[in-house]
């Protein structure tokens, strides 16, 4: 990043001076309405604007909070530690973190040389950028569209590890410079730059970590826990009743979140358990089939062969041979 711009962003604010002098807790009045844990854009951005930047406040712990806007954090230098919906994220120089309005965020204290810029973005700002992205379905476009809905988003954050991607670094610096220096025609420039940034990010989805919504995570944990405990004889209808969901809705949700049906998830667990028993127990193949939930041994054979590309007996023989060879070695 341009050193002159970085030096300006590094300057210690009056708020930060207070923390350096011993103030322990974040000044909530700057960010939130009383008795709430939601950072309010109305306290951070002038009326009529749809985007603003603030240098991230250092030297203080930000307890768990939400936002009523989309937040983009860009790490200019150093690093910061964020807990987003329970996920620990180390945001390093040149990386960026997009948060939607449903994300719960906690931030550990940053040091003097940990310089981050927070973008406060209202959903309307993305209108032009979306028009530049076209209609093709992709992770970035889906995230932006879900930000516009503000509720029921599947993805709570996108963590882009793009420090080595020069076009993205240049676009981020241009965006920060234009807003920081209050350039003429900055609204049009900023919207076009954001559109170009999102188009570039679409080319680097292999460098992004995706945060799923907490509710989805909790639901999936409940599903996996049930299957782990009831893979032999559990039923989707029983699980739906336990979780107080309509069985058809739950079936669709499981497939949407995992890419597999409930039956396929159960089958995967049964096959893993069968493989474990073949390797570690003296049970017959027929007994193992029954132990994992299959009365029809021939059907079990076909599923196992399809899953592992080898019959249960050959699987057992191969694993025991491997174990003997390792012991001899």
Task: Return averaged pLDDT per consecutive 10 residues of the chain, 329 residues in all.
Answer: 95 95 90 88 94 96 90 98 87 97 89 97 92 80 81 80 97 96 88 95 88 67 83 94 91 83 92 90 94 95 94 90 62
Q: What is the pLDDT of residue 209?
A: 87
Q: Distance between CA atoms of 187 and 213, rounded to whole angstroms?
A: 31
Task: Please give the CATH architecture assigned to the domain spanning 3-210.
Answer: Sandwich (2.60)
Short-list 95, 116, 74, CA closest to 162: 95
Task: Please give the CATH architecture assigned to the domain spanning 215-328.
Answer: Orthogonal Bundle (1.10)
DSSP for 24-67 reads -S--HHHHB-TT--EE-GGGTS-TT-SEEEEEPPPSS-EEEEEE
pTM: 0.66
| Residues 176 and 74: beta-carbon distance below 8 Å | yes
Retrieve residue 149's tokens: 């809905």
The residue behind tokens 């597999």 is 260
Q: What is the pLDDT of residue 206?
A: 84
Q: Up-side HSE of residue 155: CA atoms within 13 Å toward CB?
A: 21
Retrieve residue 75's tokens: 């790490």
Retrieve residue 51's tokens: 């985007």
Residue extents of the structural domains in the chain? 3-210, 215-328
Q: What is the pLDDT of residue 321?
A: 80
Q: What is the pLDDT of residue 324?
A: 58
């Amino acid at each position: 990043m341009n050193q002159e711009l970085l030096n300006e962003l590094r300057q210690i604010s009056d708020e930060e001076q207070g923390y350096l002098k011993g103030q322990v807790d974040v000044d909530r009045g700057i960010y939130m309405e009383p008795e709430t844990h939601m950072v309010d854009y109305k306290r951070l951005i002038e009326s009529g604007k749809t985007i603003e930047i603030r240098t991230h406040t250092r030297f203080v712990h930000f307890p768990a909070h939400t936002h009523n806007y989309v937040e983009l954090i860009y790490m200019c230098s150093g690093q910061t530690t964020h807990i987003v919906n329970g996920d620990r994220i180390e945001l390093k120089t040149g990386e960026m973190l997009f948060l939607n309005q449903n994300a719960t965020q906690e931030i550990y204290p940053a040091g003097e040389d940990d310089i981050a810029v927070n973008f406060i973005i209202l959903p309307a700002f993305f209108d032009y950028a979306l028009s530049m992205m076209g209609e093709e379905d992709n992770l970035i476009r889906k995230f932006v569209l879900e930000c516009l809905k503000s509720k029921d988003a599947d993805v709570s954050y996108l963590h882009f590890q793009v420090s080595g991607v020069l076009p993205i670094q240049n676009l981020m610096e241009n965006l920060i410079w234009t807003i920081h220096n209050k350039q003429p025609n900055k609204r049009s420039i900023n919207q076009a730059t954001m559109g170009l940034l999102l188009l570039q990010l679409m080319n680097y989805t292999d460098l992004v970590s995706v945060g799923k919504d907490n509710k989805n995570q909790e639901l999936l944990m409940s599903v996996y826990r049930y299957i782990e405990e009831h893979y032999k004889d559990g039923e989707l209808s029983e699980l739906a009743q336990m979780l107080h969901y309509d069985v058809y809705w739950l079936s669709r949700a499981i497939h949407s979140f995992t890419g597999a049906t409930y039956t396929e998830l159960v089958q995967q667990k049964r096959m893993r358990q069968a493989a474990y028993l073949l390797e570690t127990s003296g049970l017959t193949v027929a007994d193992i089939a029954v132990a994992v939930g299959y009365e029809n041994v021939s059907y079990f054979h076909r599923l196992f062969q399809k899953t592992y590309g080898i019959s249960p007996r050959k699987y057992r023989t191969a694993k025991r041979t491997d174990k003997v060879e390792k012991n001899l070695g």
